[in-house]
Structure 1
């Protein structure tokens, strides 16, 4: 009954100033979707906005908005930009003539357009319905509902509560947060029979209460896939960052039975970025979460399986099979493997930091904590792009943001465009040749001791928030004794396997290793985990695609 009620109040809205076109598209939409969705049509941008506001007041849901580009007074892009403020979760489609495709492409960045359709769309079975089917599927799995059903009860200064919230946010699982100190949080604890000593408490949409859930348990209860559907694949991709997602998209789209295994959340470090402004095709920038969500949906559309909260602990060669072992003792096998494990931020080894991690000290951009920094003083440790992007994002609401940089300047490690933006932001201060000597606080961060590298002088400052970006360490320890790595743990491949560029002694094939191939034939590496990689999103995606091409070459010769 609940699903039926939702369907009755879910709308597909179309707006076109040509009455004949407006009636035609509404007719086609009702023929396919009228049984499950209410079709609302308007003949101007103003009347469509009025309809959206009325729907909002009644609490109705809007799944998809289709707008014609050429409308008087308010064109389709202008209308969609206003509609975005009322229904940000609705999928947006622009109807356009062939001559206006440049405007449609621009709209992808202006209003985060999901698709543009050329008129006429006949036959709708080929040109309209497949597009709408995909958009409706994506909408149903997004956080479109005004009140998310999953509830999290925890303490503000709790590392475990922070971990759970971050896991849900990065995996695009909508949830509502309740402090254990507030009345509603207390009511939820009582209803679940929890004493409040063990937090967080997660209540799933089905009403299941999970106390201090680990990632695999949490993933399984909130609808994330954790179990493979087969025992053998053509390709196993380990790691869900840009390189892994690129591999999954190209592997699945080219006919390989592909499974991607991610230990935490897809997107990697890039998925935590508030704004990526130098990625090809997005002149106005794109958030890491948006880019990750699109890539994940794209991989799924081509048939790739994506497993979340599965930790890989070993890689074994068993004849022609490459066996991937999981921490729970299970395993899957494949003809080929792509290692796209990425990197993690290095830990700040200063007294007090370990105890306060998750309680004011965070590594990377904590998506869930940014809103709590409003009007407060924030410290960011690091001088590379990730630190700069976080500084720009947090500076929008924070009272002040201070970048602590060990080096002489930002120029050695940060892109020029970011340096320029930081210089123009009045509430960002850059302190070079400065490091964190210690972190202090009772249960949460309260103060930092800063030290000048040159003079040795120290200073005690008040601080509740510190985000750390101090370099990256590869997540490859589990490959020790199997795959060759350099002294820093980065994976060697192709000509980098030996100093003279020749195949390693244990290499058994007549041919030399391919460019991204490790010392194990059929096992490739892509992205930041590879030695000498570029550490950029674009290069990681490119290497993911290239690795799939080499997988095909390997399979053809096996």
Structure 2
């Protein structure tokens, strides 16, 4: 789809662009591409490469377009954005402050430069939690477990992996390696119960709902795990290796964003000129297609509102 020519009179002389997009994942890229489609200029700020998190997803089953792996989708999105005339990319840059005012938003970069626009789409997404971030896990000082997506599927045949947490990378791992003979022992807290439904029927998986896990060092191998189950019973679990799949934490930039108790930024709670899209909205809607849709919707919201047109929910 070709960019629509910029509308006469936009952006206003005292603004750098029509729309600032913070975050270059699927949501931010969709926002910038949709903005271009209606003639809005945007500046997209991303500290890394576009769609960098997609490179950690070896198998896709919930996106349109025939993409079956994250890297292929990331490459397609990147190619699209790099050819979008009305989008200026600021890669390798962080937003260190976001401020909203009556007539503008201002994003300050780590270089000290400031960008202004009538609206900003914040789509900074989430980052993986670390072992120390899980209150339901007690671990020896200095222990650091790798995430499940780093497991070498080729070397897991016939092995048993203990996975702490039931986050969605477990399902992704199983879909990416349908023929591997691995056995997964998935210990997860009650908060992850809704996430494990997609793996419940996989014969390679044993689900272990727990209240708490205590890891102990074990010579020459993966740590042993002492579990307290929800019925109060206790068990000791050993495995050939141990990996994490405990979820993510929101990564909102500093400044004028309203955060909920869980750290996420509900779109309805924000300043009218600040539009939140993608995974930053909620832990319950972290899907690629949902992120892209919300990014596009945020850009259109800015477009219609800037023209005085009422936007219905």
Pairwise TM-score range, normalised by the shorter structure: 0.7 to 0.9
Name the structure 1 match of 2:274: 523
Deviation of residue 471 (structure 1)? 3.4
Deviation of residue 276 (structure 1)? 1.9
C-alpha distance in 2 between matches for 1:414 and 1:398: 20
Name the structure 1 match of 2:142: 355
Deviation of residue 446 (structure 1)? 3.0
The runs of 4+ residues in structure 1 deviating greater than 6 Å are none
Deviation of residue 344 (structure 1)? 2.5
Matches for 1:101-250 after TM superposition, within 5 Å: 232-250=16-34
Is the CA contact 1:381–1:387 (under 8 Å) kept in the aligned structure 2? no
Deviation of residue 337 (structure 1)? 0.8
Larger Rg: 1
C-alpha distance in 2 between matches for 1:550 and 1:377: 49
Is the CA contact 2:278–2:295 (under 8 Å) kept in the aligned structure 1? yes
- Is structure 2 residue 290 aligned with structure 1 residue 539? yes
Deviation of residue 465 (structure 1)? 4.3
Deviation of residue 525 (structure 1)? 1.0
Deviation of residue 241 (structure 1)? 2.2
Deviations 1:396-443 (A, max 9, x none): 556443322334996x32454x544x23xxxx231322454225378x
Deviation of residue 487 (structure 1)? 1.8
1:528 aligns to what SS in structure 2?
Answer: helix
- Is structure 2 residue 100 aligned with structure 1 residue 323? no
Name the structure 1 match of 2:214: 437
Deviation of residue 460 (structure 1)? 4.9
Deviation of residue 294 (structure 1)? 1.0
Is the CA contact 2:100–2:274 (under 8 Å) kept in the aligned structure 1? no
Q: Kindly indicate whether structure 1 or structure 2 has the higher relative contact order, using CA contacts under 8 Å at least 6 residues apart.
A: 2
Is the CA contact 2:139–2:216 (under 8 Å) kept in the aligned structure 1? yes
Deviation of residue 385 (structure 1)? 2.9
Deviation of residue 534 (structure 1)? 2.6
C-alpha distance in 1 between matches for 2:236 and 2:102: 61
Name the structure 2 match of 1:457: 234
Matches for 1:475-490 after TM superposition, within 5 Å: 475-476=251-252, 478-479=254-255, 482-490=256-264
Name the structure 1 match of 2:70: 288
Give the alignment's TM-score, normalised by structure 2.
0.76
C-alpha distance in 2 between matches for 1:353 and 1:262: 35
Deviations 1:489-520 (A, max 9, x none): 222333xx3xxxxxxxxxxxxxxxxxxxx22x
- Is structure 2 residue 300 aligned with structure 1 residue 554? no
- Where does the alignment leave 5 or more consecutive residues of structure 1 unmatched? 1-230, 498-517
Deviation of residue 334 (structure 1)? 2.5
Q: Size of the alignment, in residue pairs?
A: 287
- Is structure 2 residue 247 aligned with structure 1 residue 471? yes
Give the alignment's TM-score, normalised by structure 1.
0.45
C-alpha distance in 2 between matches for 1:362 and 1:264: 21
2:280 aligns to what SS in structure 1?
Answer: coil
Is the CA contact 2:217–2:223 (under 8 Å) kept in the aligned structure 1? yes
Is the CA contact 1:439–1:448 (under 8 Å) kept in the aligned structure 2? yes
- Where does the alignment leave 5 or more consecutive residues of structure 2 unmatched? 1-14
